[in-house]
Structure 1
Amino acid sequence: MSAENKVENTGDKVKGKAKEAVGHVTGNERLKAEGKADQVKGDAKQAVEHAKDALDH
């Protein structure tokens, strides 16, 4: 996994956690859902990168 991809994937997860937290505090269910979706997106991208790495080795 390239460092750039790792940073991007981690960024998606952090952004998602922040959105979810703000949504929770403000009672905004849509924002909470967007946050969870961003976290899943980051996890999925990371899983794909790990699979690519496994195939390369």
Structure 2
Amino acid sequence: MAGDQKAKAKAEQAKGKIKETTGRAVGNERMTAEGRMEKAKGDARQAKEKTKDIFKG
């Protein structure tokens, strides 16, 4: 289960980065903001999983 969540975090980070970059390239501030938000969500999920790993081991 933890590996599944880590993969989901990485996917969210990548999707957010792509969306942010695309938004910047086309001048769409809303898309850029949505990309930043998705990337931050992935970062938060990854941090949570790392914290869980620390307390498990």
TM-score, normalisation: structure 1 = 0.91
1:2 is displaced (CA, Å) by 2.0
Name the structure 2 match of 1:9: 9
Amino acid at match of 1:50: K
Percentage of matched positions with identical amino acids: 42
Name the structure 1 match of 2:54: 54
Q: For 2:50 and 2:30, locate their aligned partners in 1 and report how far apart those are by CA, in whole Å.
A: 30
Name the structure 2 match of 1:34: 34
Structure 1 unaligned regions, length at least 5: none
TM-score, normalisation: structure 2 = 0.91
Q: For 1:6 and 1:52, locate their aligned partners in 2 and report how far apart those are by CA, in whole Å.
A: 11
Q: For 1:6 and 1:47, locate their aligned partners in 2 and report how far apart those are by CA, in whole Å.
A: 9
Aligned length: 57
Extract structure 1 runs of 4+ deviating beyond 6 A.
none
Amino acid at match of 1:31: M
